Each structure stands twice: as C-alpha cells, then as structure tokens.
Chain A
Amino acid sequence: MLNNYIFKISSYTVIFSLILFLNDCNRSNGIKKFKDTSELNIFLKSKGYIINTYGWKRGEAIETVEFRKSTNYSTGDLEIICSIPTLTRIKFDKVTIPNLTEDEMETCANINNLKFDYRRVILSRNHICDISEKSKFSKLSFIFTETNVDDRMLECLSKIKNLESIGVADKSEITEQSICSLTANLKSITSFRLSEVPFSRKALDCIFTLPNLKRVSLQNWSQVPEEKIWELVHEYEDRHGRKLDAIIDDPTSIDSTVWPKNNN
C-alpha cells in the first residue's frame, strides 16, 4: 500500500519534470522549472491560485487551478499551469480574465480533456475565439455559468473539432438559433448542459440529434415542461439503445422556519 503510494508520487514527478524539460528545450525563453508538485504548489499558492478547489494536499495530483479575485496573474502563468500533466480544469470565478499570450493559448488549447470553467465573468469574444482557433485535435470542454457568452462565441466554439462537452447555465446572451447551428456542426459532444433558458422544443430537438450524447442537464426550461423533456430523453434512449444520464427536474420548496436568534 505504502509502496504503491510512493510510486504514484514519484511517477507523477518523473512525468512532470520530463514534460517541463521538453518544454524548456522547445522554447528559447523557456518556462519556470519546478522540482516537484509540492514546489509548484508553493509557487501557485503564493500567487493566489486555488488548487483542487479546497487546496492542495501532499501526494495529490494537481487537477484544478482556479483564478479568483485575489489571484496575482503575471504573463506566462498559464503556460506553467497548462503544462501540468494532470490538469483537467481551469476555472475563472468573478475575475477579469487576463489577456493571454499566443504561447499560453497554444499550450492550453492543446491539452487533452481540459475543461474551461467560467463563472460570473465578462468574456471577450477574442478570448473564446482565439482558444478555439488554436485547438487542433485535443478534446476540450467549456462551461459558462452566469456569463455573457453569446452566439458569436458559440460559433467560434463550433470550430473545435473535438469539443467534448459544453454547458451554458443561468444567465447568458445566447439565442435559440445558435443551439441548432452549434449542434449541426459538432458531432463529438458527449455532454450538453443548458439551463434556465426560454427556448422552445426546437432547441431540444437539435440537442437530441447529437449522436454521441452520454449526459444532458436541461433544467428549468420556461417554455417546455419537464415531462416533455423526459419524453425526448426516453426517445433518444430508445433510438440509440443506451441509457442517457439526464438531469431534468429541479424541485424546490419553501422553508419558513424561524431561525434561532443566536445563529442568524
């Protein structure tokens, strides 16, 4: 058990330094070098990045890196972050997204299985479109929660060959038409989230034409009742002969309990 554990850490370190080393050779200016994950963690923490949502623990791989208000970004940071071999998600929460360098975008757009997670941020069209253009064959995912993502940004995303999953939740500026043009171009999508939208059945029909869907999250569609969406899910399941992981309902109720005085 313990041996296994040590092996795990050391193998991460080996792979990790190897990749950093390769990057060093390929670029003239080179990126900052780190001895191991722990040292990298100290560096990222000192700059105010949040690792793995709750902070990094010894022995863990770095999977998520988050930008918050307190993050002190400097040019090139994302090159370091996107070179972490275990990275699966970059999250921006309530921050101004920095202007990224070509190298930063190039590195991040070509990690396989990376998810870009934007929450309560103002996006520029260039940011999304540049990343989309730089992506070659890697599988990428995008989730937008309470952002200004719009049709033109979705249009850029639809150029990513291997777009793995997409999510637009709560507020956004997209229209119903953009959903159909997105789904017409992308057959690679396996996961689709779209919630709190006033769209009609037509948008749903387009989503369910995606041939490789594995999970959908379609909550709070003001124009289409939940039973109808379930019906479409079941039809999809019948058509493809497999189960779909679906989140449709979002029941809520009132709790009018009087709070104890000392706790409120």
Chain B
Amino acid sequence: MTFFAALHGGSASGFWAGMSNSRRKRARRTLPANNANAEPLVGRRREEEYDPATGQMLVTDENGNMKLFYKDEDGNLRVKEKDQDGNILDRNPNPSEYFNEVRLYQGYSQGATIINVSDTKIERDVTINQIDGRDYKTIKSDLLLNMPTNIKDSTINRFNNEISGNLVDVLKKSEDTSKTNIQKEKEKIHKDKEAIESWSNGGIIKKEKEIIARGVEEKLNTEQYKKLIEKQNNIDTLKAGLLDISKGKSLLEQNALKDRFIDFGTEQIATYSKLLSKEVTSGRLTKEVFNKLVNDKVIELDKNRKEALKNISASTYLKTFQGLNEKMFPGGKDEKASFLTPTEKKSTSNRYHLGELNYELLSTKEKNKMDAKLEKAGLKPSAEVLKTNPEIKNAYQKLIVNYVLKEREILSKAQESALNQKQIDAFKNSAIKEVSTQVTSLKAREKAAFEVKISYKDPATGKIVSKLVDSRDPSLNAEQSKLAKKALAEKEETRILKERDKVEKEWKANNDRILEQKLIDAASEARIKELTSYSQQEWVDAMAEQPDPDKRAKMLEERKLKEHAAEIREIQSISRYKIVDSYVESADTIFKQTKDLKFLLSLETGESIKSETLSEADAAYLRSKWCVAVSTWNMLKSNFGDDIPDFIPFVKEMHSKGWIKNSNMELLRVDNIMNHYAKEHGKGFDRVSLQGLDTRADRYNKLANELIEKKPESITLRVKEEVDESGNTRGHTISLHRLPNGTYKVVDTSQPSINGSIFDPANVEESPLGSDDDAINPYYNKLPKAYDNVK
C-alpha cells in the first residue's frame, strides 16, 4: 500500500507513483493551517497533495508530519495519521479539527478546488473600528472562536453543500470565454491586417517602412491637409516675390552697368555659354577652350561690375531709388497701412500726414538701423552726394521708410509661414503616429497570437535547432508545421489556465467572504440565544415571584436581556458594520456584472446587449455617470433599509418615472427622488450648503460639527464641483454612513483609496477625507459644496 510508505516518514514519491506531473502540480496548494482551535494561526503553513487516481489526499504539516485522507468502501471520509508513539491511527476526521482539510478533500474529489476561511481577511477588514471601547475585530473573532463546534460544523457543511459544484461551472465558463476570446482576437487580427495591407499590397512585417509611408499618404489625403499645403506654397511664393534689400542691391548693380552701357550681366553669361556649348557639341570647339571663354567672360563681367559699383553716378542712385520706391508697395499708402504700429497709425492719422508714414515720423532707432543695413549692402550714396543732392536724399529717406515697412512685411510672412508649417508638421506627425501605432500594435498582437518557438533536428547537420516561427507560415515543412501547431495549442492552453486561475481566485475570495458572514451570523444568533435563555433552576426560583407561567417567561426573558444588554448591543451592532461594508464593496463592483445595467446603458448608447458582464470600460463609463445615483441609493438604503429596492430595480424605477435622463444618464432632481421614498416615513429631503465658508478645513469642520450634533444615519456629500469647458457644472458625490461608534464610513465609487475609509467627526484631521495632504487624499485640494440628508 503506497500511503504507508509515505506515512512512515519516507519520501512522498511512492505515493505519487503513476500520477502525471502536470496533474500533481496543479493539485498542490499552500494554505493557512487549521483554524478550529484558539492558537494563533499566523505563520503556520501546510501543503496538501491530491491524487485523483486513488482518491487519496496527503497533507504535510509545518513540522513535516503527514496525514492521509481517503474514502472507505462506504464512501465515508477517513484519516490515517501517526500518534505520539508512532502508531498509525485510522479514524473519522472531526470537521472542527480538520476544518480546512475536510473541505479541501471534498473539493478535490469533486474535481474542483475549494475555498478556505483565512484569518488574514478578518484582520485586513477591521482596523480602527471601535464599539464601546472594545474593537470590532475582537468582538468578531471572539464570537467566531467561542461559537459552539456543532453550529460551526453545520454552517460550514451547509455552505459547502450549497457551493459544491459551483466552481466547476464557473471554471468551465471561464475556459469557454477564454477560447472564444482567443478566436475573436485571431479574427480581429485578420481583419486589421487586411485593412493595413490595403495600404500596401505587400507583406506586413517585412515592408514596414513602406506600409507606414503608404498609410500616412492615405491619411494625409484630406482636403484640410491639401489646403494647408496650398497655403504654404502661396505664402512662400509671396515671400519670395517681396523686394528685399538684396533685390534692391542687384537692381542698383544692373542700373549701374546699364548706365555705363555695359550690357553684360549674369543672364547674358548664361545665353553666351549656351550658344558656345552648341559649338562644343558639334565638335568645333574643345571643352577646354569653352571653359576658358566662359571663364574670361565671367571675369570680365566681375571686373566691369566692380568698376561700375566703385563709381555709381548720382543719377543711377536716383533712378534705382525711384524705381524701388515705386515698385515696393504698388498699393501705396493703403498697402503700407497694415504694417504700421499702433503708435505710428496714431501719429500719421492727422490731416497733414494723411496716413502716410514719412521719414520724420519713423523712430530714430529704426532709421539708423536701416541706414546701416543699406550702407552695408552698398545701397547708400556717399555723404557728399546726399548733402548736395536733395532729390537723392529725399529718395533715399523714402527708401529707408519703405524698407523698414518691407522688412516688417517679410517678418510677418515668415511668421505666417512658420505657423502654417507647424500645422502641417503636426498633421503629418499625428498621421505617422497613428499609422505606426496601428502597425506596431498589430505586429505585437500577431506575435502574441501566432508566434511560437519550435525545436527540431536539422536534417543537414543533425543538430537540434530552436527558432521562433509564425505558426501560419506556409514555408514551414510538414514536421515544422506540426510542431508549431502543437506549440501554439500549448500556448493557448496556458493562457486559458492563467485566466482560469484568476477566476478561481476571485471565486474563492468571494466565497471566503460569504462564509465568514454566515459564520458570524450563526455565531451571533447562537450567542444571543445563549445569553437570553434561562435555566430550569431559575424558572423554579422565579415561581414565587410570578406564578403565571406566561408572565414569568416574559419576566425572565426581559431580565436576561437587561442583564446582558451591553453584550447583546455589541453583537447586534456588528450587523450595521456588515451592511455598511456591503456598500463599500458594491461601490467597487456594482457596475461590473449585471445584464440589467447593460440594458440601461444600451438605452443611451444605442448598442445591443452583448453579454452578461460589463467590460471594464463600460463599468468606468457607468461609474462616471452614476455617482450621484449610487450615493443617493446608498443613503436611502442606509436610512430605510428593506423599504428601498436593490440598486438595479431602483435604477429601473427611476427610469420608468423619467427621473433619469436618457441622453446622459443624469439623475434628475435628487430632491424629488428622496422625497418619494422618505415620504412614507414622514421624512423628506434636506440639502445643507457648505459654500459660505472659505477654506476646505472650515467646510469639513462644519460638516463634522453637524454630524456630531445631528447624528444622521447617512449623508451624501458633493465632494467637489467645477465648471467644465462647456460651461456645465460637473462634480462628484460620495456617501457617508454612521457606524455604532459614532464614526462614519465613506463609500466612494471613484477613488479606492477613500472608499471604505473612516471619517471621524471628532477627529477630522486624522480622517483621510479631512486631510489636505495629497499623499493621503485624492480630494486634497477640492472644496466640498453641500451635503444631503434625510430630515
């Protein structure tokens, strides 16, 4: 018998004979040790291994001692273990003693893995809550530890029966979903690839640059972009045509040459060399001679030019200046007006100047600057000429004014050009980015979906070769293709298992919580029953005091209730914590899982209902729309309990009454909604503004004082409100719920760091919501606007 080898202190390998490796791996668990006794459990760990072939489970505790669980012929669970003297005991396991092991065995034998109550969960949940001096955690753990074993066992057994098989369904569903998702992803890749390939007609990964270029080209093929390019060309042409200083300089040169009857400029050299080159082509002239002749002409021209420029006549200057002044602004003063500064406009607007900027009105600084520029360019006549020839002086001064204005025009054109170019670049870059992202993402997704590593024997060298291949690659040979397909299947299975593990973990955590609540309920009930029951002796003793049996029973009950009032109140207050905790939890999960919410969402988005669970994006969307609704519902529920429908029916009712706006899911008129439900209880809506107070601290102080004074069961708090760019006031609403110790628990659908935190009105500075430190409170700089409560 294999298990004996294991039990007798040998290695566990015998026990595992015949079991496949993968199965063994998946059955191994680490779990907190038995928690049925009062010993501290922290730090103790044990491992169990289950063999489906034999139906045996071997548990090794932290000291290395082993226990073997198995089913006898009648299907009863048995445990074999060694006692202190080393003798093997074979007996029925007591469910209290083997709290976890029994449930584990049941789970494994049903092909599922099962949950365990972890004490760490209790620790995590309860930190600073206090009830009448004793903390919530102590009351809870005392109740759990002192609960009668039979009640504990039956609660656990009932729960295990309720949930047995659930996990199998949940895991099966997870597998199906994963498979569908893998298939869908493949189809999506195929579709995206087709779309991207339509830009290119080529293979996607190989010709990435080309594909991106083509994709970008396609994206840029829009009217908007074309207009930008056209505008840029126009600006550039205009800019090139402006008569700048260098153009003025060449005009002066031309005039100087012409006036000296030297009819030979740059253009003429071009014509001359063209003519000569024909002679070269026809063979009448050698290349060397051609070069020499052209070169001589250039030197001659240069010499003439220098000569001419050395001694420019007054008349040439005058002619050039007049020509430039005439051509520079053909539209005259109207054209110039747009380049005047506001000060210049003002000073030229009188009757004398008639809007014309003359030399006197130009600032000295600008005059001098332009004068220096023209001098440097050779456009300034000598001082002698300017002195003696008033006509030239006048024309030169006009030229200065015109060039100042022309330079302003050039600058404005350059700025316009740069701005437009910036828009073009932005347009182009965003197209490149968009297309590259699409291609990169597709590449990554393709890789994830189809790329695998295969190892095979290279027939040429006989060596084992490993390489990454696309499992769809048609160039793979039959063996490689088979290997790739197998590898892909394994890869997909790993993905499915990973997802399945995640689902399993969630399921376990969820059931942990449910079982813990069930145990607390059962323990509370048992303890209150125990506290309020009286003994036979007490019954007899009370006979003299009250002969009527009915009245006597009532008297004894009341006496017991009075005697244990403090403890009973303590136990009962746990339920309030539990209810409030459920709001905290629902704030996070309420939007994730129901078909009904999807239905409501579909009313707005016009989408059909696709699946039962909502995607993370849908959940985030609903969260953003519905903080007011959830907070109001939480507050009503907190005040009126079962008289308020659950969240989904509540939202549906709001919807049918027209209190939710279809177009944006906005909850209309909280006052109407609250009055509707509060009326039955003779109460109504009350909104208290905090706006009159200047600082955040003042507002939270006021809130705290009113919570201490009025002790409302629950309030909603408009924690911030701002005006957005379209002029709407948008904000966020949370709810606060009173706990038996006078503090308030904060429920927030948006910020996990605040959801579940405690707001203590007697100690605002220590409460996260009251803090103005950004490391503690996401609303550290936000002013609360108002709070609503039931009056």
Given A54-B701, A264-B689: A255 and B718 within 8 A (CB)?
A: yes
Contact A251 B687 (CB under 8 A): no
Give chain B nearest CB distance to A245 CB in angstroms: 7
Q: Is B749 an interface residue (CB 8 A)?
A: yes
Residues of B with C-beta under 8 A to A91: 772
A132 contacts the other chain (CB 8 A): no
A36 on interface, CB distance cutoff 8 Å: no
B666 contacts partner chain A, Cβ-Cβ < 8 Å: yes
* Cβ 8 A contact of A245, one of B628, B718, B753: B753
| Residues from chain A with Cβ under 8 Å of B628 in the complex | 253-255
A263 touches B688 (CB 8 A): yes
- Determine if A247 and B753 form an interchain contact, defined as CB atoms under 8 angstroms apart: yes
- Give the interface SS of chain B, mostly helix, strand, loop or mixed: mixed
Q: Are A169 and B731 neighbours in the complex by a CB distance under 8 Å? A: no
Instruction: Tell me, yes or no, whether A172 is within 8 Å of chain B by CB.
Output: no
Taking CB atoms, residues of chain B closer than 8 Å to A139 are none
Q: Which residue of B617, B669, B700 is within 8 Å of A258 (Cβ)?
A: B669
Measured in the bound complex, the distance between the Cα atoms of B781 and A193 in whole Å is 13
Question: Quick one: CB contact mask for A53-69 with B, threshold 8 Å, 1 for yes?
Answer: 11000000000100000
A227 CA to B620 CA, complexed, in Å:
9
Kindly list chain B residues whose C-beta atoms are within 8 Å of the C-beta of A119.
Answer: 781
Q: How far is the CA of A161 from the CA of B751 in the complex (A)?
A: 32
Taking a contact as CB atoms under 8 Å apart, the answer to whether A52 and B765 are in contact is: yes
Q: Is B537 an interface residue (CB 8 A)?
A: no
Q: Which residues of A contact B770 (CB under 8 A)?
A: 53-54
B120 at the A interface (CB under 8 A): no
Q: Which of B765, B778, B781, B786 contacts A247 (CB 8 A)?
A: B778
A169–B617 contact, CB under 8 A?
A: no
Q: How large is the interface on B (under 10, 10 to 19, 20 to 34, 35 or more residues)?
A: 35 or more
Within 8 A of A (CB), among B619-664: 620, 623-628, 664
Q: Chain B residues near A250 (CB, 8 Å)?
A: 732, 750
B781's partner among A170, A191, A252 (CB-CB below 8 A) is A170
Interface residues of A in 54-99 (CB under 8 A from B): 54, 64, 89, 91
**A145-B781, A251-B750, A253-B628 known; A54 and B731 CB under 8 Å?**
no
Q: Which residues of B contact A17 (CB under 8 A)?
A: none
The CA of A64 and the CA of B616, in the complex, are separated in Å by 39
Mark contacts of A127-154 with chain B using CB atoms, 8 A cut-off: 1 yes-contact digit, 0 otherwise: 0000000000000000101100000000
Asked if A5 lies at the interface with its beta carbon under 8 angstroms from chain B, I say no
* A258 & B624 in contact (Cβ 8 Å cutoff): no
The docked-state distance in angstroms from the alpha carbon of A193 to that of B617 is: 23
A257–B626 Cα distance when bound, in Å, is 14
Q: Among A64, A253, A264, which residue has its beta carbon within 8 angstroms of that of B666?
A: A253
Whether B728 sits at the interface, judged by CB under 8 Å, is yes
With contact pairs A54-B764, A227-B617 given, residues A257 and B669 touching in the complex (Cβ less than 8 Å): yes
A227 and B616 within 8 A (CB): yes
Check A252/B774 contact, CB under 8 A, given A53-B697, A227-B616, A257-B670: no
Cβ B775 vs Cβ A53 within 8 A: no
A245-B753, A249-B620, A249-B750 known; A255-B625 Cβ under 8 A: no
> How long is the Cα–Cα vector from A256 to B753 in the complex, in angstroms?
27
Partner of A253, one of B627, B689, B765: B627
Docked-complex contact A251 and B778, CB < 8 angstroms: no
Interface of chain A residues 108 through 124 with chain B (CB within 8 A): 115, 117, 119
CB of A226 within 8 Å of the partner chain: yes
> By the criterion CB–CB under 8 Å, are B731 and A252 in contact?
yes
Complex contact B627–A260 (CB within 8 A): no
A96 to chain B, nearest CB (A): 18
- Does A167 sit within 8 A of B, measured CB to CB? yes
Q: Is the CB of B169 closer than 8 A to any CB of chain A?
A: no
Is the CB–CB distance between B765 and A53 below 8 Å? yes
Q: In residues 728-786 of chain B, which contact A (Cβ within 8 Å)?
A: 728-733, 749-751, 753, 764-765, 770-775, 778, 781, 786
From the candidates B669, B697, B724, B750, name the one contacting A54 in the complex (CB within 8 A): B697
Interface membership of B391, Cβ < 8 A: no
Which residues from chain A contact B765 at a C-beta distance below 8 Å?
Answer: 52-54
Chain B residue contacts of A54, Cβ below 8 A: 697, 700-701, 764-765, 770
Chain A, residue nearest B773 (CB): A89
Tell me whether A217 is interfacial, beta carbon within 8 Å.
yes
Q: Does B668 contact A (CB under 8 A)?
A: yes
Interface assignment of B585: CB less than 8 Å from any CB of chain A:
no
Q: Are A260 and B671 in contact (CB under 8 A)?
A: yes
Residues of B288-318 whose CB lies within 8 A of A: none
A-B Cβ contacts below 8 A, count: 112
Complex interface: chain A residues within 8 A of B722 (CB): 252
CB pair A254–B620 under 8 Å, yes or no, is no
Of the listed residues B689, B731, B750, B772, the one surrounded by the most CB atoms of chain A closer than 10 A to its CB is B772
Shortest Cβ distance from A207 into chain B, in angstroms? 16
Give the residues in chain B near A255, CB-CB below 8 Å.
Answer: 628, 667, 670, 718, 721, 729, 731, 733
B686 within 8 A of A: yes
- Contact check, B670 vs A251: say whether CB atoms are below 8 A apart: no
A-contact bits for B713-727, CB 8 A (1 contact / 0 none): 000001011101000
Please name all residues of chain B whose beta carbon is closer than 8 Å to the beta carbon of A256 when the two chains form the complex: 666, 668-669
Given contacts A167-B774, A258-B669, contact A252 B730 (CB under 8 A): yes
- Asked if A259 and B689 make an inter-chain contact with CB atoms under 8 angstroms apart, the answer reads yes
A183 at the interface (CB under 8 A from B): no
Tell me if A165 counts as interface (CB < 8 A to partner B): yes
Of B667, B687, B751, B774, the most chain A CB neighbours within 10 A belong to B774
Which of the residues B687, B701, B771, B781 comes within 8 Å of A260, measured between beta carbons?
B687
CA distance A252 to B623 in the complex (A): 9
CB distance from B129 to the nearest CB of A (A): 18
Which B residues touch A226, using CB under 8 A? Answer: 620
- Kindly identify which residue among A117, A227, A245, A259 contacts B687, using a CB–CB cutoff of 8 Å: A259
A260 contacts B686, C-beta separation under 8 Å: yes
Verify A249–B687 contact, CB threshold 8 A. no
Instruction: Report B-chain residues with C-beta under 8 Å of the C-beta of A252.
Output: 624, 627, 720, 722, 724, 730-732
In the complex, A167→B774 CA distance in Å?
9
A169 in contact with B620 given A255-B733, A263-B687 (CB within 8 Å)? no
* CB <8 Å contact, A251 and B689: no
Beta-carbon nearest neighbor of A143 in chain B: B774
Smallest beta-carbon distance A83→chain B, Å: 21
Question: Which chain A residues border B625 with CB–CB below 8 Å?
Answer: 251, 253
Report whether A251 and B753 are in contact in the complex, using a CB–CB cutoff of 8 Å. no
User: In residues 185-210 of chain A, which contact B (Cβ within 8 Å)?
Assistant: 191, 193
Once bound together, how far apart are the Cα atoms of A115 and B771, in whole Å? 14
Q: Is there an interface contact between B671 and A257, defined as CB atoms closer than 8 Å?
A: yes
**Chain A residues with CB below 8 A from B771, complex form:** 53
B724 surroundings in chain A (CB, below 8 A): 252
Interface contact B732-A253, CB-CB below 8 Å: yes
Q: Closest residue to B764 on the A side, CB-wise?
A: A54
Q: Nearest Cβ distance between residue B647 and chain A, in whole angstroms?
A: 16
Contacting residues, chain B, for A264 (C-beta < 8 A): 689
Minimum CB–CB distance for A189 against chain B, Å: 13
Residues A251 and B624 in contact, CB atoms below 8 Å apart: yes
How far, in angstroms, from A227 to B624 measured CA to CA in the complex?
Answer: 14
Closest to A56 in B: B765
Per-position 1/0 for B669-687, Cβ under 8 A of A? 1110000000000000111
**CB nearest to B686 among chain A residues:** A260
A245 contacts which chain B residues (CB < 8 A)? Answer: 753
Q: Which of B720, B729, B749, B772 contacts A254 (CB 8 A)?
A: B729
Beta-carbon contact of A169 and B623 below 8 Å: no
Say which residue of B627, B732, B774 sits within 8 Å of A169 (CB atoms).
Answer: B774
Of A169, A249, A254, the most chain B CB neighbours within 10 A belong to: A254
- Extra A-B contacts (19), CB below 8 Å, given A117-B773, A170-B781, A252-B731: A54-B765, A89-B773, A115-B775, A227-B617, A227-B620, A251-B623, A251-B625, A251-B750, A252-B732, A253-B666, A253-B667, A253-B733, A255-B667, A255-B731, A255-B733, A258-B671, A259-B687, A263-B689, A264-B689
Closest 3 CB pairs of A and B: A251-B624, A252-B730, A257-B670
A selection of 10 A-B contacts at a CB cut-off of 8 Å is: A165-B775, A167-B774, A251-B625, A251-B627, A251-B750, A252-B627, A253-B626, A254-B728, A260-B685, A263-B689
